[in-house]
Amino acid sequence: MARQKRIALINDITGFGRCSVTVQLPLISAMRVQACPLPTAILSVHTGFPNHYLDDYTARMRPYMENWAENGLTFDALLTGFLGSEEQIEVVLECIRRFKGKDTEVIVDPVMGDNGKLYSSYTPELCAKMRQLLPHADVVTPNLTEACRLLGVPYPPGGLVSMPALEKMAADIAAMGPRDVIITGLHTGDRVRTYLYGNGRGHSFDNAKVGHDRSGSGDAFAAIVAAALVRGIPLAEGAQVAADFIGHCLLYAEELGLPWNYGLPFEAFMGELTVL
């Protein structure tokens, strides 16, 4: 019997707000892939709430990872998410050295900011450190803000960027190491665009814009793409499935009138992923 595929999730665990591992683990599991968290922090709620409790896990990440190695564990993919310090990026680099085999995919979701602004915990130095992951990544999934930060270029006025400019940005990121680049959440009028670049070529697809940005959308996108990738589903197909799934969740969130920081009500749509 073929071994079930397995993904290590290097991300925080947040109790409320539907983001990070709390979103990724059930979505990956629904796609019949085993999800194995390596926590970067434990939070009561995410930082989009007025106050939160945070237990930084940096000091425990190496012993945790070393025990995985002692037990001879291997992974088909490593998926990185929220990283709270330069030291955590060093731990991730060590994790890649330990667990990246010949066929292991490394997917980097460079969680740093959105809508032209960095998250409160990110400094310019930490953003620069994030670039050190790119030579080891097979796939990277930044939004436009994060793509600009990775490249050290200004965020475009109004978040609007032309297709030629997008292609150059993606090509410049790919030149830093990744095989494939997916730039997410690009706003074009009443549509949201996803731009994919690989093998020297780019293409995009659009989805209807629904409501407002919500916490955990990037985590959900990266999780579905990663699970699709290890299942042998083409990257473009996995990205389209992820974008469609998030669109359904956004529409339902609007119907429920959920605050943005309550995240995506993904539980109602997990059946869409089990049929893949």
Q: What is the band of 144 on the pLDDT scale with cuts at 50, 70, 90?
A: very high
**Across the chain, what does the average pLDDT equal?**
94
Q: Average of pLDDT values for 31-40?
A: 97
Which pLDDT value is given to residue 1? 44
Q: Tokens 């997916």 map to which residue?
A: 182
Q: 23 near 264, Cβ under 8 Å?
A: yes
% of the chain exceeding 90 in pLDDT: 87
| pLDDT(175) > 80 | yes
Interval 226-249: pLDDT, tens = 999 999 999 999 999 999 999 999
Which pLDDT value is given to residue 187? 87
Tell me which long-range contacts 113-118 makes (C-beta under 8 A, separation of at least 24): 113/145, 113/146, 113/149, 114/143, 114/145, 114/146, 114/185, 114/213, 115/145, 115/159, 115/213, 116/145, 116/148, 116/155, 116/159, 117/145, 118/145, 118/149
| pLDDT(52) > 80 | yes
Which pLDDT value is given to residue 213? 84
| pLDDT(2) > 80 | no
Interval 178-202: pLDDT, tens = 999 999 989 888 899 999 999 999 9
Interval 76-128: pLDDT, tens = 999 999 998 999 999 999 999 999 999 999 999 999 988 888 887 788 888 88
Record the tokens describing residue 208, joined without a space. 């209807």
Q: What is the band of 153 on the pLDDT scale with cuts at 50, 70, 90?
A: very high
- Residue 48 main-chain phi, psi, to 5 deg: -80, 0
Q: Which residue has the higher pLDDT, 274 or 132?
A: 132
The C-alpha atoms of residue 124 and residue 131 are separated, in whole angstroms, by: 11
- Residue 102 main-chain phi, psi, to 5 deg: -60, -35
CA 255 to chain centroid, in Å, comes to: 26
Q: 109 near 80, Cβ under 8 Å?
A: yes
- Residue 203 main-chain phi, psi, to 5 deg: -155, 165
Torsion angle of C-alpha atoms 266, 270, 272, 275, degrees rounded to 10: 160
Strands 113-114, 117-118: pairing is antiparallel
